[in-house]
């Protein structure tokens, strides 16, 4: 299985580390470490529940997009709504994911698609109920830095 640039185990560890630095409890950190497992591997939410318990599984489920929704905008809108329903810890995980992805894009000069940046911005905008509001501030600052540093080349993705 091919791992997307900026994703995989290193990305997962970065998300968990961002959550740890923010002061999130171990359950949230574990869910952050596993946040892409259902989307990117054959594992299911039930597998996560069996191995890590219902609380971690519920958080992973809250941040896992519905692959049956074909249209990007609809899928991402549904994901954001699902994250909000998942509560403050799910919002923290979603923000940590965006922080890790933006840090990667900034350090590697990886272009991000306009629609992805729009999704990131809407994720930050819906984060008023985050348990750790500094995560929203970090994501917002990284989005601004990315936008300021763009060289005008066509986005990809």
pLDDT tens, 96-147?
A: 999 999 999 999 999 999 999 999 999 999 999 999 999 999 999 999 999 9
Asked whether residue 156 is assigned to any structural domain, the reply reads no
The single-letter DSSP state of residue 47 is H
Question: Active-site positions?
Answer: 39-40
pLDDT tens, 34-63?
A: 999 999 899 999 999 999 999 999 999 999
The SS3 call for residue 46 is helix
Asked whether residue 157 is assigned to any structural domain, the reply reads no
Name the domain count of the chain. 1
Instruction: Provide the domain limits for residue 36.
Output: 9-149
> Which CATH number fits the domain that encloses residue 34?
1.10.3210.10
Residue 41 structure tokens: 């591997």
Q: 101, exposed or middle or buried, with CB in 10 Å at 0-12, 13-18, 19+? A: buried
For residue 51, what are the contacts with CB-CB under 8 A and spacing of at least 6? none
Asked whether residue 3 is assigned to any structural domain, the reply reads no
DSSP for 117-152, please give it: HHHHHHHHHT-TT-SSHHHHHHHHHHHHHHHHH--S
Whether the Cβ atoms of residue 127 and residue 88 lie closer than 8 Å to each other: no
Instruction: Give me the pLDDT at residue 145, please.
Output: 94
């Amino acid at each position: 299985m091919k791992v997307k640039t900026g994703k995989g185990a290193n990305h997962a560890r970065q998300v968990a580390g961002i959550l740890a630095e923010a002061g999130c409890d171990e359950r949230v950190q574990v869910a952050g470490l596993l946040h892409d497992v259902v989307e990117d591997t054959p594992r299911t939410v039930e597998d996560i529940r069996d191995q890590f318990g219902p609380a971690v599984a519920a958080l992973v489920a809250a941040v896992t997009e519905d692959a049956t929704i074909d249209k990007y905008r609809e899928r991402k809108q549904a994901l954001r709504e699902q994250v909000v329903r998942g509560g403050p810890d799910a919002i923290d995980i979603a923000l940590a994911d965006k922080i890790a992805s933006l840090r990667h894009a900034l350090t590697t000069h990886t272009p991000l698609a306009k629609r992805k940046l729009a999704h990131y911005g809407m994720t930050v905008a819906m984060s008023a109920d985050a348990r750790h509001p500094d995560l929203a501030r970090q994501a917002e600052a990284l989005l601004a830095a990315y936008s300021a540093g763009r060289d005008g080349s066509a986005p990809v993705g």
